[in-house]
Structure 1
Amino acid sequence: MRDEQLPLARRHTFLRCAVGQYCPLGFNATWAYLAATARPSPDLRRDPAALLRALEILEASRAVRLNEVDAFAVRRHAEKAAGRRTPRRIDTPQMTGPRWPSETEPSRLGLIAAVANRHTTFQRFPFPDESLYRDNQAQQPADLHARLDSCATSYLTNLGHVDAPTRDALAETILGIESLIRPGYAPLNGHLLVWLRFANLVAYAAEAGGLPDGRRVGSGGVGEVAGRTGEVAGRGVLPGREKREGRERRAWGGTSESRRQGGGYGDAVDAFQRES
Structure 2
Amino acid sequence: MRDERVAAPRRYRALRCAVGEYGPLGFHATWAYLAATAVPAPDLRRDTAAQLRALALLETSRAARIEEIAVFAARRRVEKAAGVRVPRSDDPLAPPWRPRWPGGAGPSRLGLVAAVADRRAAFLAVPRPDPSMDPRGRLADLHGRLDACAAAYLGALGQVDDPDAPGDVVADIRRHLTPGFAPLNVALLPWLRFATLLEYAAQAGAGPHPR
TM-score by length of 2: 0.94
Which residue in 2 is equivalent to 1:119? 120
For residue 151 of structure 1, the aligned residue among 149, 170, 175 is 149
In structure 1, how many angstroms separate the alpha carbons of the residues matched to 2:25 and 2:127? 22
Structure 2 unpaired stretches of 5+: none
Which residue in 2 is equivalent to 1:258? none
Secondary structure, counterpart of 1:188 in structure 2: helix
Larger RCO, structure (CA 8 Å, separation 6 or more): 1
Are positions 1:212 and 2:208 aligned together?
yes
Number of equivalent positions: 210
In structure 1, how many angstroms separate the alpha carbons of the residues matched to 2:100 and 2:42? 21
Equivalent pair of 1:154/1:162 in contact (CA under 8 Å): yes
Alpha-carbon distance, 1:132 to partner: 3.3
Equivalent pair of 1:132/1:187 in contact (CA under 8 Å): no
In structure 1, how many angstroms separate the alpha carbons of the residues matched to 2:103 and 2:42? 22
Equivalent pair of 1:32/1:113 in contact (CA under 8 Å): yes
Equivalent pair of 1:181/1:188 in contact (CA under 8 Å): yes
Alpha-carbon distance, 1:84 to partner: 0.3
Which residue in 2 is equivalent to 1:103? 104
Alpha-carbon distance, 1:11 to partner: 0.6
Going from structure 1 to structure 2, the CA distance change for 1:42 and 1:127 (only over 3 Å counts) comes to farther
In structure 2, how many angstroms separate the alpha carbons of the residues matched to 1:42 and 1:187? 42
Divergent runs of 4+, >6 A:
none
Alpha-carbon distance, 1:127 to partner: 0.4
In structure 1, how many angstroms separate the alpha carbons of the residues matched to 2:41 and 2:54? 13
Are positions 1:64 and 2:64 aligned together?
yes
Are positions 1:196 and 2:180 aligned together?
no
Q: Could you report, residue by residue, the CA deviation over 1:145-187 in whole angstroms, capped at 9, with x for unpaired residues?
A: 00000000000000001113xx343222111100000111101
CA RMSD of aligned residues (A): 1.7
State the one-letter code of the partner of 2:160. Answer: V
Which residue in 2 is equivalent to 1:18? 18
Secondary structure, counterpart of 2:183 in structure 1: coil
In structure 2, how many angstroms separate the alpha carbons of the residues matched to 1:139 and 1:93? 36
State the one-letter code of the partner of 1:22. Answer: Y
Equivalent pair of 2:40/2:47 in contact (CA under 8 Å): no
Equivalent pair of 2:164/2:203 in contact (CA under 8 Å): no
Are positions 1:142 and 2:116 aligned together?
no
Alpha-carbon distance, 1:93 to partner: 6.6
Equivalent pair of 1:35/1:41 in contact (CA under 8 Å): no
Are positions 1:35 and 2:35 aligned together?
yes
Q: Could you report, residue by residue, the CA deviation over 1:197-222 in whole angstroms, capped at 9, with x for unpaired residues?
A: 10111110011112124xxx8xxxxx
State the one-letter code of the partner of 2:140. Answer: A
State the one-letter code of the partner of 2:174. Answer: E
